[in-house]
Amino acid sequence: MDELSTGSDSAYSNSWISWFLSSKGNEYFCEIDDDYILDRFNLTGLNTEVQNYSQAFDLITDNFDEEFPEEVRASLEVQARFLYGLIHARWIITSRGLAKMLEKYKKADFGRCPRVLCQQQPLLPVGLTDVPYEKSVKLYCGRCEDLYSPKSSRHGSIDGAYFGTSFPHMLFLVYPHMIPPKVGPPDVAGAGRGRPEAEGVGEGVSTAAAALKAERYRPRIFGFQVHEIAKLQRWQEAHRDRQVAHLEALEQEQ
């Protein structure tokens, strides 16, 4: 899913990981500690997901001495990137991994929220699924709690499974002082005056029906909704249901 980045052969003289992290398009990734990679317990199950697992592992740990034709080497390179991405998803929810990603977050390495009211809030990468090759990475704003696509096509093609569904919410759970203040609710004092309209709603489609179809992102850690956010979402959905009922009543009066 992610694009192959190019790098000079001289970069291999340092390490494969250094070359990988310095390649264009890989700015979202952080460096995984060697001790974590070399502990095979941390890699349990990955051998069934990665083709040529042993050779890919040797490549990212700089123990790769065999000479292969260029096309074989390119295939192993893809598998090494895939393996590093899967290890990365596990690493960044450890204490050391969270600390490294926190530093990148503070520097806004993942970009800033494009929403004006979020006041340049830094973003965090998140996956919509933990299964590889299904969804590309998205960017989560802790202020408006919405998702955005990366601006760069290089970043937009990164597999979301390399960051996982739990990472940004785990980071805020461990570092609660980093949770940004929420955007205040809009002024709804004049709601319901006149005929309600919604962007993208055509003739014959009720505003209430369009509102009910709106998809929203639900933050989760290991598949479970985050408690405080889940409580807030229940309140938001109850408020939305009241507004939808009000819209339906207005449309019936027309």
For the chain, strand residue ranges (E) read 123-126, 138-141, 147-148, 220-221, 224-225
29-33, 57-61, 154-158, 240-244: the lowest-pLDDT one: 240-244
**Residue 8 reports pLDDT greater than 50:** no
What is the amino acid identity at position 210? Answer: A
The answer to whether 104 touches 40, Cβ cutoff 8 Å, is no
CB atoms near residue 26 (< 10 Å): 20
Which residues have CB under 8 Å from 131's CB, separation 6+?
161
What integer pLDDT is reported at residue 197 of this predicted model? 39
Q: Which domains does the chain have, with CATH numbers?
A: 9-94 (1.10.1820.10), 101-178 (2.20.25.20), 207-253 (no CATH)
**Residue 86 reports pLDDT greater than 60:** yes
Q: Which is nearest to 61 in space by CA: 78, 42, 80?
A: 80
Q: Distance (Å, rounded) from C-alpha 64 to C-alpha 66?
A: 6
pTM of the shown model? 0.71
What is the amino acid identity at position 215? Answer: E
pLDDT in tens, 90-143: 999 999 999 999 999 999 999 999 999 899 999 999 999 999 999 999 999 999
The tokens 């939305």 sit on which residue?
240
pLDDT in tens, 184-222: 544 333 333 333 333 444 445 565 555 555 566 777 777
CB atoms near residue 241 (< 10 Å): 12
At 63, the pLDDT band (50, 70, 90 cuts) reads confident
Q: Please state, in angstroms and as integers, the Cα–Cα distance from residue 52 to each residue in 19, 26, 103, 220, following that order.
A: 21, 23, 34, 32
Across the strands, what pairs with 11? none
